[in-house]
Amino acid sequence: MAHRTLISPKPHIGDVRDPNSLYNHMRAYLQWREERQFRPQTVSRDEDNLRYFITWCDERGLARPQEITRPILERYQRYLFLYRKSDKHPLSVSTQRSRVTSISSYFTWLAKQNHVLYNPASDLDMPRMGQRLPKHILSIKEIETILALPDLGTGLGVRDKAMLETLYSTGMRRSELLHLSVFSLDYERGSVMIRQGKGNKDRLIPIGERALQWIAKYRDDVRGDLATSASGETLFLTQSGDMLTTGRLSGLVRDYIEKADINKTGSCHLFRHSMATMMLENGADIRFIQAMLGHVSIATTQLYTHVNIRKLKDIHNATHPGRVIAAEPHSHTSEHGSQKSASTALLNLLLQEAEHDSNDEQDD
């Protein structure tokens, strides 16, 4: 099967005739990544990041990997730091890190393949991510306002309602929502299986009764009218029976948030971040939030342990704002210094995820 980059409509960079050019090595590298089952989004982001770098090199007469030294990479880092977009804003720290990380992985591969004698990107100093809290978090009232907006008199409105309820109930990533199948839900046990999430890992997480009810209504009353022979098992479909793209889903959710007139901006990740924040505030242990979100570990903490789905379901029922919260606190609600530190780390990690999502949707 041909690799995507080999048939990419994107223009060539540099001397295509030179088999040892940065560009031709990039094509081989991306094919290697794809053959080893890296996520398509990751391969695509690497290609975009490497194209930025190779174009920069080409403008300076640098054509081959052997010509790239550590000082040159440090010059590129400074270029990224000083770069201003069309709106006069600098690149975010997350974008800068993403660009450099792709280059580092590329040169690690080049060194292992003996295309260069050493890796000039080894031990590069990466831009530091500050410990920031998100600018916008939705309140329960604001979320309910958004959830009330889809037109339930139309099939697509019912679909949108089911998708929004799922994002709110589970905090799953937008790509995970799009790849749900009709067989992903266990309505009796109140759980959803996410296949091949980030890192190509499966996970089983709880989902609330209200979300399940709307999914069932969409499945029974709407999906059959949208599905075609090519739809397969994909749960949420477009009007033409296709899987939604990440950009289309993000735009759809963003439009609902704007229509809610709550003076806040965001898209799918706003539900993910808000759910995690609310469950933390309601006393959920950081380990359970990790399991819900699909984070194997959180930087600066060593708190991850295996979480049983039944216990996770109990915690979800007790702390998710979509359910009635018990008046008496549970034994797991005491939050010591380590829990607070871990909570801050988790929220900061979610903020980095949101920035990566934004980077994927727009050309910096």
- The reply to whether 173 belongs to the active site is yes
Cα 354 to Cα 128: distance, rounded to the nearest angstrom? 17
Could you confirm whether 136 is annotated as catalytic?
A: no
Partnered with residue 194 across adjacent β-strands are: 203
Among the listed residues 269, 273, 313, 316, the single catalytic one is 269
Q: Considering 45, 99, 159, 173, which one is annotated as catalytic?
A: 173
Per the DSSP assignment, residues forming a β-bridge with 185 are: 192
Catalytic residue flag (residue 78): no
From the candidates 295, 316, 332, 356, give the one annotated as an active-site residue.
295
Report DSSP letters for 152-197, one per residue: TTSHHHHHHHHHHHHHHHH---HHHHHT-BTTSEETTTTEEEE-S-
The amino acid present at 179, given as its one-letter code, is H
- Pick the catalytic residue: 25, 161, 174, 198? 198
- Length of the chain measured in residues: 364
Asked if residues 59 and 20 have their Cβ atoms less than 8 Å apart, the reply is no
Q: Which long-range contacts (CB under 8 A, 24 or more apart) does 253-260 make?
A: 253/163, 253/164, 253/167, 253/174, 256/146, 256/149, 256/150, 256/160, 256/164, 257/146, 259/149, 260/142, 260/145, 260/146, 260/149
| Helix H or strand E encompassing 263 | none
Alpha helix ranges (H) inside 13-116: 22-35, 40-58, 70-82, 93-112
Q: What is the DSSP letter of 5?
A: G
Helix H or strand E encompassing 357: helix 337-361
Residue 17 appears among annotated catalytic residues? no
d(CA 335, CA 316): 17
Whether residue 336 lies in the annotated active site: no
Beta-carbon contacts of residue 153 (< 8 Å; ≥ 6 apart): none
Catalytic residue among 174, 203, 219, 272: 272
Catalytic annotation on 218? Answer: no
Residues designated as active site: 173, 198, 269, 272, 295, 304
